[in-house]
Structures are given as structure tokens and as C-alpha cells.
Amino acid sequence: MLHQQIEAHFPKDRLLRDPKVAADGSRVIEISKGDSKSHQMRRQDQTRNRRSVNDYIHFNLFKDNTDTAEAVSLIGGFLRVPPKCIQFAGTKDKRAKTVQKISIKHRDPHRLAQFSRPSVRIGNFSFEKEPLQLGSLSGNHFQLAMRGITETCENVERAVQRFALGGFINYFGLQRFGTTEVSTMAVGKALLKSDWTAAVELIMRPRDGDNEVLAKCRKIWAETKDAEKALRPIGRRHCIEADLLQGLLKSHEKDPFGAIQRIARNSRMIYVHSYQSYLWNLAVSYRIKTFGRKPVVGDLVIKPGTSDSAKRQKKGPESAEEVVSLTENCLDQFSIYDVVLPLPGFDVKFPDTPVTQFILDQMTIDGIDLREKHKVKDYSLSGSYRNIATKPSNFSWEIKKFDNPEQDLLLSDLDVLNKRQLPPISESGSQMALIINFTLPSSVYATMAIRELTKRSSDQRFGADGATKTAWKTEADESEVCLEEDDAAALDQA
């Protein structure tokens, strides 16, 4: 009877029952009130306790026509955690089918495995000691189908051979800067100048290509500057705009800096790194136009024996010592593929050439000096080094002919897992496509590789000077940095 009265006043899942033997030998049940945690929370606690060493879950993320930030927001919304709790090594193109590693800390893997969306899938879970960090990858492998080829097979083959031998200028691709009217570089410049209000307005500015929800959100903000009203179309979705508006709502629009800091750090760093990349693109264009495609005295090269990870993650005062300046005595020991330019920062060495003054003049125009530490620690950029030219590895190619313009020519990783088969290819098809497979180092853009292969003009807004040549042009072009003279001569004689 007493047990029934107790259970009537307390939820059963919050009562702890402990059978015991009393001093007189009788059997009793000791009942006490448990904590207020839900069953799901207790299950997560148990999961944490089991993982005393490997706290992070790593898994593969497959996405189709979805950018990395959107996919991470979908996962975060499903788990009811902010996107900043989810780590990744780099962003992948939206207009592609991509696979990348993701990490998250202290989550129930059974819950995570239940996530699925038509355009986003996850799998291949493992427990690891450390989270992923931006830049913590060695490279990316690409499979591309280039349709609409109208040149002869001989001209295509010649162009492909030149590309494989010569490589390309290692520009940051346009996706580094965003593909809408508001570039991430412009937001990064505002952040580095501590113009928080301008940064908020740039992030919230209406733009073409937004989905219906974001378009409505931005329109309301532009017309009313009311964070609460602008948030309504977004609802419970996790995205940069939602995080920013939540911060503005909390401060009644009086603390733009605090609102910006609510955005996931990875996303904020993409903005400032975009400005850094913009400077680098301008600098490499100036370097090639001024000195051509051979190393010159004063150029920088990575000191022999420096590991790839050290090049990517530079810490401490000794990082500037990872590069050496070329002298007349050692020019013949290096090629243009060894030469690096710094991504400007407070902990890098600049070349002993006019390129340095060019970079400083550009920063002066913008009212920014990346050589100085920013008052906001996150926006203090130490800098790093980037090769000015590179070549693809693991390169292969083939020409396919087909009739149906909608026919799939490649299988995605998800297709392979689902054991899907490609339709048969017609050798006498009326249309032709070039299928290429290659690997590029970390932070090297496939779009810049294709720009070089096809000789198509690229958008010049951010210093990636576009070529105006016809696609598949085959004659040697001395203005191109990425073709060695000996290789060109060998091909011309073939």
C-alpha cells in the first residue's frame, strides 16, 4: 500500500528501488527519488562513461547538391546541437556528389545512425581520440565527367597530356569566395577591420540563388531590421543566418560583435581566410606576370625535410624558419613547383622580391595589416605557405561516347554501395565526354585544374586571371606557368 502511494506521486522512471536484507533478517525494498534526467540523457551519460579515451565519433558524410554547412546544419538539427559542435576538415563543392569525414563529441551513435535525408547520408562510424580540424587532410580525389566535347579525340588527348605534365597555377577557386553577389571575402574584410555592423549587413544582404526561406528572412531584415521577425521564416533550422539573428535578438540589435561570435567558429574563419586567399591570388598573378615561370633570387621554398603537416599547421615563432630564400647558387636545384608564396599573417616570412611590397600596398588600400595580431584572437592569422603551381597525381582519363544527354556517366560512392550499374555506353554515340580521375593536395581547387585543362576564362574578380583561349587549344603558350619547356618540346615532336 505504501509503495502504491509513493508511485502515485512520483514518475516510475525517477524512482530507484534497491532490495536489501534488514538487521533482523527480513527482506525490504529501499525506495529513493532518482535524478531528473530523461532516459535519453542517462543513456548518453552511459555512452560517455564507456568512452573514457575515444570521445569523438568520426563518420563519413555523403551529400548531393548540398554544401557542407547546410549538411552539418541538418545533422545538428536532428541531434539538437548547434553546428559548431560538429567538426570537419574542409568544405566540399555544393554542385557535386561528395564524401568527407565529420566528427562530433559525446553523442549516442545509435541516435546518429538514425539520421537520413534524400540528399545527405552518413555511415562508417568509428570512435577516435581527437576531433577533425580545418585543414587536417592530405588531399582530395576527384572523378569528373566533362560533357559537350566538340574537338577531335586527337586534340583532346594532346590537351590532357599537356595538363598532366604541366599542371596549373595554384589559385584559390571561386568557391573560396562564394558564388553570390556577396562574397565571403567582403565579409572577411569587414571582420578584419572590426566593422561588425558592416559584417552583419553583408551576411544578411538579399542575394540571388537563396532558397525561399532564406530569401524571405533576408528580405524581412532588409526592410525592418527586426531580428525577431526575420527569424520567423527560419523556424528551428540551424544556419549562419539563424545564429546571427539569435544573437541580435538577444542583444536587441545593440551588440553586432556578440551576435557574430554566435556563428560557428569554422564558418567565421572561412570569412577571414577568404580575404587572406584573395590577397594570395592577387600576389601570385603579380609574381607570374613579373618573373615568369622560373624560380628567381628571393623566391621562397619550403626547407627540405619539412613535413606536410608542419606546412599546414604553423605554430610558434620558429614557423617562419620553415622556408628559405633562394640565392643565385641554388636556383638550379628548384623548379616553379617548389616555389611558395605566403598567405599573409603575423608568423610568416615574406619573399625578398617586389611581390612583398605588392602585398603590403594591397593591404594598405584595404586598411588591413595581417602582420599584426587582431584584437579578437580568432581573427589573428598566423599565415602559412602555398605552392604557386602544382600538378595532379593518380591521373587517368578516357573518352566516352553516348546518345542520351541525361545519361549518367559516373557512379557516386552511394551508387557503388547500392550496387547500381551504369547503362551500357555506345561506341558510336553522337555525343562525347571526357572522364578524368585525379588527386590534388589539400586546399588545391579542381575548378582551377579544369580551367587550365580547357583554357576557359575564369571569373577575374579575385585575381584568378582568366585565359581567353579557345577550349582545347594545343599549341604551346609561353605565358602559361605550368608547362615546362622540355615537356612542350617533347610533345611537339611526338
Tell me the C-alpha distance between 245 and 253, whole Å. Answer: 9
Which backbone phi and psi does 111 adopt, to 5 degrees?
A: -65, -45
The percent helix, strand, coil of the chain (3-state, each to 5) is 40, 20, 40
CB 352 within 8 A of CB 316: no
Is residue 93 part of the annotated active site? The answer reads yes
CB atoms within 10 A of CB 262: 19
Tell me the C-alpha distance between 288 and 479, whole Å. Answer: 9
CB 337 within 8 A of CB 386: no
Look up residue 109 and give its three cell numbers: 551513435
CB 174 within 8 A of CB 458: yes
CB 247 within 8 A of CB 258: yes
CB atoms within 10 A of CB 161: 16
Supply the DSSP symbol for 467: P
CB atoms within 10 A of CB 217: 25
Catalytic residue chosen out of the listed positions 93, 243, 299, 347: 93
Helix 446-454 to helix 153-166 angle (10° resolution) is: 130
Look up residue 159 and give its three cell numbers: 590537351
Q: Which residues are catalytic?
A: 93
